[in-house]
Chain A
């Protein structure tokens, strides 16, 4: 079964520092990988997705992620953290539950990012 593991339930960075949120996946087939962001008391918003095209994927708000098959990783990065980046981030893999040709999202447990002024 496909799954994702997010390393670190909480990450704190200083404003202006590099943001690195880790995600490793387990998949027996080429994965479709997603990063979502959730601001407090809101729904989930798509940051970026990997769909087997370019391995370096650029998303919204200056975030990007690199798909590394050899490491089964899809880590999320941003060169310079901003206070508005404080949120919870979810990595997800889309896979077939029943093998019947429909694909569902399975989420990691999330990483809360705090940005220190």
Chain B
């Protein structure tokens, strides 16, 4: 039972480069989301999706792009990496986001450094 799988685990980018963080879940969850975690800031929501073909912005969406072509996958794209995007990124998923009591499950994280 894989749960939420993120790749890569670690990545170093140069300023201005683009890259995609991959996220896949095998639980048939409708809801998927991306968070970034910075020291002393907790986790902040970047983008989320309530189903295939539907995405929306979270608290800190600037500089990131997402799409949801399948139920299983929710990639996060950094369009032109900046040092301020150095962070740990977490993908998360749950059953219907319309039921607020549903547990949200998290991946293991992707450590990104932009130099």
Interface residues of A (CB under 8 A from B): 9, 32, 34, 36, 41-46, 49, 51-52, 90, 94-98, 101-110
- With a cutoff of 8 Å between Cβ atoms, the chain B residues found around residue A42 in the complex are 108-109
Q: A102-B50, A104-B58 are in contact. Are A95 and B100 (CB under 8 A)?
A: yes
When C-beta atoms are compared, the residue in chain A nearest to B45 turns out to be A104
The answer to whether A32 touches B101 (Cβ under 8 A) is: yes
**Shortest Cβ gap from B25 to chain A (Å):** 13
Q: How far is the CA of A98 from the CA of B19 in the complex (A)?
A: 29
- With a cutoff of 8 Å between Cβ atoms, the chain A residues found around residue B45 in the complex are 97, 104-106
- With a cutoff of 8 Å between Cβ atoms, the chain A residues found around residue B101 in the complex are 32, 49, 51-52, 94
- With a cutoff of 8 Å between Cβ atoms, the chain B residues found around residue A109 in the complex are 40-42
Total number of residue pairs linking A and B with CB closer than 8 Å: 73
The answer to whether B90 touches A104 (Cβ under 8 A) is: no
Question: What are 6 A-B interface contacts by the 8 Å CB criterion?
Answer: A94-B100, A97-B58, A98-B56, A105-B43, A109-B41, A110-B42
- With a cutoff of 8 Å between Cβ atoms, the chain B residues found around residue A107 in the complex are 35, 42-44
**B97 proximal to A (CB < 8 A):** yes
Most chain A C-beta atoms within 10 Å of own C-beta, residue among B42, B48, B97, B108: B42
- With a cutoff of 8 Å between Cβ atoms, the chain A residues found around residue B56 in the complex are 97-98, 102
Interface residues of B (CB under 8 A from A): 4, 31, 33, 35, 40-45, 48, 50, 56, 58-59, 90, 92, 97-101, 103-109
The answer to whether B43 touches A90 (Cβ under 8 A) is: yes
Contact of A108 among B42, B50, B108 (CB under 8 A): B42
The answer to whether A104 touches B103 (Cβ under 8 A) is: no
- With a cutoff of 8 Å between Cβ atoms, the chain A residues found around residue B31 in the complex are 102
Q: How far is the CA of A42 from the CA of B6 in the complex (A)?
A: 12
Q: How far is the CA of A113 from the CA of B94 in the complex (A)?
A: 27
The answer to whether B108 touches A43 (Cβ under 8 A) is: yes
When C-beta atoms are compared, the residue in chain B nearest to A52 turns out to be B101
Most chain B C-beta atoms within 10 Å of own C-beta, residue among A45, A101, A102, A110: A102
Most chain B C-beta atoms within 10 Å of own C-beta, residue among A36, A95, A98, A103: A103
The answer to whether A103 touches B97 (Cβ under 8 A) is: yes
